[in-house]
């Protein structure tokens, strides 16, 4: 069998059959970050911008992207999500992003969590690129997943 | 004026008016990477998989995502693209991704290039996550842009 | 707890977790109207236009919009619908719109019914705006819903 | 000729040919409102919710909907927009919504402004429906348009 | 050079660069057909169904699909269309479909016309499949195109 | 009752209510073909193009279209698919296309299989049209379906 499960034995892409998998409650948490300058972080965090739309805009973009994952990632299944939330944090030169998604379905939702983080990050990137063209979106990785055959998985710290 | 140009003076999000900008030829190049294990790189590069659909699937996902950028990134403009291409390279434990997009339009297409890289990376991520749940998509940044008021910009090497 | 359930305790938007809610049959009915001139109503109702595509076009737009609700309304869940139907009626200076949607799911579909009415109304609006630029789409409200924890709810007449 | 310009002489729907129209700068402004209870307005306006995501979420939904107008309204043309902004106001029992869109194109963008208002209104509706199931989205109408053959049009006050 | 222009010299897919092509008025006409039974044709043509939504539903689906071509066909460019119309005809055991699309752009719109025909045909197929599971959508081909470097092309009769 | 089940007794389109149908495992297989020249088939099959992206691009387009069926076909239900695969074959002057889709749902997925074939065919059509403007996509028909009230259905050979 091809160890890359999205390919058949001839190496051709397909959407893997999940019809025989049980419906279970599943949770996936992913994280990522936008690396930028201290100046940008200052602007985003400053008192004057407390009411600003920077983080809400990125949050909404991330939530909507989670729902569109199967439309963006060719071999991903349509999975109606039970919940999506996105949290941001600040470092001196970075905004950190964390997405938590859950479902009650036959297949995992790692890609939904990763896609939410990526699109939230790109939306922040869009808002800061005029003053920091060297900004970078990255570190997009799975932190934890629960549910399904393999139970709980957690990334190394 | 708000230095974050996507916000008005009250900090509210808006789509910036580009109506007064000239129509010019514009090019943007972005890069990123999927960090994974040497084992996965071996599988993707192995003779048996030369004909496999891994890279074409990610390439198509990236090209399509470039065209959907304005649908994913809330404050991005609809920009009909003249061309999109995506190239991959291999390192010992990474697949590198580069997207080149061009247009003849009133506004830049950095986000189109960045989005193409991110979605191509997430598509690779999707295909390797079963054997490498710790894979990471990142380093998504602009490398070069040409056209528009500011002329040529290149990232530091 | 925040009485606006789409916000967490810090006022941040999220998609509410519906994972613990039971799967039940749910129905929602919404209505709305396009207010225009007697002349337009005459054109739409006239014998010569009995075979015209005005109402079928608005009906199809409304049905398709119901299916895309989760893509339009940021915090709405993806809910596969069991059925959608849209009915129109005529008043002297208005076209009335009624959408009935049903599902077997964990969460309500009020937004699907309201979105179907709004987009059907906007589609009518589009077709009459050249002869009545002052047309108005409105009165979009829930009429009845059934299923879920709260049972039957009906709007005051 | 059929006075309903979206229909041909046999009453069949079509996308009207705009190929012979000149490219001009065009602006459209539309308004609408969500009618709800004084209690809901109090919650949305209260100090504790000043930082809340209610209005930003509706604003982003409206901006994105403006960009998707041609996908929602069957006979609308794809029109790349130069700018979109959405403003909210408060009355004792209502949130008012105003959308301003502009383009440099062959055809008008009234539907883009109206769609932005409708979807921003529905997004507010979604957030308040749990505490006010009788809320109503309406009064969606064009306020002003500029550009194109007919010049300036303004709604009666 | 690769005679398949959508591939580069290494056989990799890309969106061909149209930036150097002139903006010209372009028209494409495509046709296709749904082959079914005389019984189905009788139902669709019968007096009782003259007012029925069969053809309007397929027409709207085709028009909308023309606008979404770049989202469906991976290497197609986003091309704002000036006009789209769809006509149906009847044969004893078939419904014929013809789509005419036009634009003022840098690249051709054959795919827009072909996609409109295909999706209109599939929509008819959907409506008849319960009584004719052996129905067939086909004969989707370009009939004529005008504009661009090669001028007028017409299919053999 | 209207024998065209997508219409109500007045001939109006609606999404048929599937809420009372049992959830069962369902499979649908459809086929179609792109008819072109022997020269094109030679190019696509030639050694030099063995690694080329022609077939993977069409395969990905078909898989993604299967997932978007309810967005393209107005009266189709949203059905999360368990699996999608697409196979190609070669004849002297044709590429044959076969799509196999499966689900565990209340309603059939014939349209998903037919749509996957049509869009894969159109994607091939797009890639060959520059050297064969007379190419034709067709023969799109159901080959087999399983599951649901009527059990197994197979097309005549």
Question: Tens digits of per-residue pLDDT, D14-29?
Answer: 999 999 999 999 999 9
Tell me which residue in D19, D71, D78 faces E104 most closely, judged by beta carbons.
D19
Question: Tens digits of per-residue pLDDT, F98-153?
Answer: 999 999 999 999 999 999 999 999 999 999 999 999 999 999 999 999 998 878 99
Tell me which residue in A4, A135, A140 faces B54 most closely, judged by beta carbons.
A4
Question: Tens digits of per-residue pLDDT, D87-96?
Answer: 999 999 999 9
Q: What is the pLDDT of residue F123?
A: 98
Alpha helices in E16-147 (DSSP H): 38-45, 54-67, 69-72, 110-128
For residue C148, the distance in angstroms to the closest alpha carbon of chain E comes to 32
Tell me which residue in E59, E83, E85 faces D19 most closely, judged by beta carbons.
E83
Q: Among A133-137, C18-22, E51-55, F86-90, which stretch is predicted with the lowest mean pLDDT? A: E51-55
State the pLDDT confidence band at B100, using cuts at 50, 70 and 90. very high
More confident residue, C82 or E46: C82
Collapsing DSSP to helix, strand or coil, C12 comes out as coil
> Residue by residue, what is the 3-state secondary structure of chain A?
CCCCCCECCCCCECECCCCCCCCEEEEEEEEEEEECCHHHHHHHHCHHHCCCCHHHHHHHHHHHHHHCHHHHCCCCCCCCEEEEEEEEEEECCEEEEEEEEEEEECCCCHHHHHHHHHHHHHHHHHHHCCCCCCCEEEEEEEEEEECCCCCCEECCC
Q: What is the pLDDT of residue F150?
A: 79
Q: What is the pLDDT of residue D157?
A: 74
Closest CA to C114 of C102, C100, C124: C100
State the pLDDT confidence band at D149, using cuts at 50, 70 and 90. confident
- In this structure, chain F runs to a length of 157
For residue D119, the distance in angstroms to the closest alpha carbon of chain B comes to 14
Q: Provide the token pair at E148.
A: 């661009």
Tell me which residue in C50, C51, C60 faces E60 most closely, judged by beta carbons.
C60
ipTM metric: 0.96
Tell me which residue in B56, B61, B64 faces F53 most closely, judged by beta carbons.
B56
Q: Which residue of F has its CA nearest to A23?
A: F104
Q: What is the pLDDT of residue B5?
A: 86
In chain C, which residues have pLDDT < 70? 1, 47-51
Exposure string over C69-97, b if 16+ CB within 10 A, otherwise e:
bbbbbbbbbbbbbbbbbbbbeeeebbbbb
Q: What is the pLDDT of residue B72?
A: 98
From chain A, the residues in CB contact with D53 under 8 A are: 56, 59-60
Annotated catalytic residue, options A71, A126, A132, A156: A126
More confident residue, F84 or C43: F84
For residue C116, the distance in angstroms to the closest alpha carbon of chain D comes to 11
**Residues from C in contact with F at Cβ < 8 Å:** 25, 56, 59-60, 63-64, 67-68, 78, 80-87, 102-104
Beta pairing partners, E40:
none
From chain E, the residues in CB contact with D74 under 8 A are: 60, 63-64
Mean pLDDT of F4-24: 90
For each of the domains in chain F, give its residue range(s) and CATH number, in order of start. Answer: 24-149 (3.30.70.640)
DSSP D90-128: EETTEEEEEEEEEEEESS--HHHHHHHHHHHHHHHHHHH
Contact F141, E134 (CB under 8 A): yes
| CA F46 to each of CA B124, F7, F59, F92, F93: distance values in angstroms, whole numbers, following the listed order | 28, 49, 19, 13, 14
Q: What is the pLDDT of residue A72?
A: 98
From chain C, the residues in CB contact with E61 under 8 A are: 60
From chain D, the residues in CB contact with E85 under 8 A are: 8, 12, 14-15
From chain E, the residues in CB contact with D70 under 8 A are: 67
From chain F, the residues in CB contact with E111 under 8 A are: 122, 125-126, 129
Q: Which of D81, D86, D112, D116 is the mutation pick for testing B, counting most B CBs within 10 A?
A: D81
From chain F, the residues in CB contact with B61 under 8 A are: 60
User: What are the two backbone dihedrals, phi and then psi, of residue D26, each rounded to the nearest 5 degrees?
Assistant: -135, 145
Beta pairing partners, B153:
B145
Question: Tens digits of per-residue pLDDT, B52-99?
Answer: 789 999 999 999 999 999 999 999 999 999 999 999 999 999 999 999
Mean pLDDT of A80-96: 97
From chain D, the residues in CB contact with A57 under 8 A are: 56, 60
From chain F, the residues in CB contact with C82 under 8 A are: 17-19, 77, 106
For residue F56, the distance in angstroms to the closest alpha carbon of chain B comes to 6
Q: Which chains have 3 or more CB–CB distances shorter than 8 Å to chain C?
A: A, D, E, F
Q: Which residue of C has its CA nearest to A79?
A: C78
| CA C109 to each of CA C27, E57, F80: distance values in angstroms, whole numbers, following the listed order | 7, 24, 18
Q: Which residue of A has its CA nearest to B136?
A: A141
Q: Which chains have 3 or more CB–CB distances shorter than 8 Å to chain A?
A: B, C, D, F
Interchain proximity D138–C75, CB inside 8 Å: no
Interchain proximity A82–C12, CB inside 8 Å: no
- Please state, in angstroms and rounded to a whole number, the distance separating the CA atoms of residues C101 and C82: 8
Interchain proximity A106–F104, CB inside 8 Å: yes
Contact C52, D11 (CB under 8 A): yes
User: What are the two backbone dihedrals, phi and then psi, of residue F92, each rounded to the nearest 5 degrees?
Assistant: -60, -40
CB pairs B-E closer than 8 Å = 51
Annotated catalytic residues of B are 126
Closest CA to A44 of A85, A117, A84, A96: A96
- Please state, in angstroms and rounded to a whole number, the distance separating the CA atoms of residues B19 and B107: 9
CB pairs C-F closer than 8 Å = 50
Interchain proximity F80–C80, CB inside 8 Å: yes
Mean pLDDT of B23-30: 96
Helix (H) or strand (E) holding D71: helix D69-72
Question: Tens digits of per-residue pLDDT, F44-79?
Answer: 887 455 557 899 999 999 999 999 999 999 999 999
State the pLDDT confidence band at F1, using cuts at 50, 70 and 90. low
Helix (H) or strand (E) holding E130: none
Q: Which chains have 3 or more CB–CB distances shorter than 8 Å to chain E?
A: B, C, D, F
Q: Which of E118, E127, E135, E145 is the mutation pick for testing F, counting most F CBs within 10 A?
A: E118
- Please state, in angstroms and rounded to a whole number, the distance separating the CA atoms of residues F70 and F81: 12
Interchain proximity E19–B64, CB inside 8 Å: no
Interchain proximity C60–F13, CB inside 8 Å: yes
Tell me which residue in F76, F122, F140 faces E138 most closely, judged by beta carbons.
F140
Mean pLDDT of D123-131: 96
From chain A, the residues in CB contact with B128 under 8 A are: 4
- Please state, in angstroms and rounded to a whole number, the distance separating the CA atoms of residues F28 and F79: 13
Interchain proximity A61–D56, CB inside 8 Å: no
Q: What is the pLDDT of residue F110?
A: 97
Q: Provide the token pair at B5.
A: 């140009």
For residue F79, the distance in angstroms to the closest alpha carbon of chain A comes to 8
Contact C152, C29 (CB under 8 A): no
State the pLDDT confidence band at D128, using cuts at 50, 70 and 90. very high
> How many CB atoms are located within 10 Å of the residue E52 CB?
24
Contact E78, B83 (CB under 8 A): no
């Amino acid at each position: 069998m091809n160890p890359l499960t999205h390919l058949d034995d001839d190496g051709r892409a397909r959407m893997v059959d999940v019809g025989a998998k049980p419906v279970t409650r599943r949770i996936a948490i992913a994280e990522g970050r936008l690396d930028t300058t201290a100046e940008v972080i200052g602007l985003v965090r400053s008192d004057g911008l407390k009411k600003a739309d920077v983080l809400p805009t990125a949050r909404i973009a991330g939530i909507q992207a989670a729902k569109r994952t199967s439309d963006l990632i060719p071999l991903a299944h349509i999975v109606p999500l039970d919940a999506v939330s996105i949290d941001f944090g600040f470092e001196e030169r970075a905004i950190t992003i964390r997405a938590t998604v859950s479902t009650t379905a036959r297949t995992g939702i790692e890609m939904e969590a990763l896609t939410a983080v990526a699109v939230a990050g790109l939306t922040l990137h869009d808002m800061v690129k005029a003053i920091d063209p060297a900004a970078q979106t990255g570190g997009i990785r799975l932190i934890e997943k629960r549910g399904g055959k393999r139970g709980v998985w957690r990334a190394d710290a």
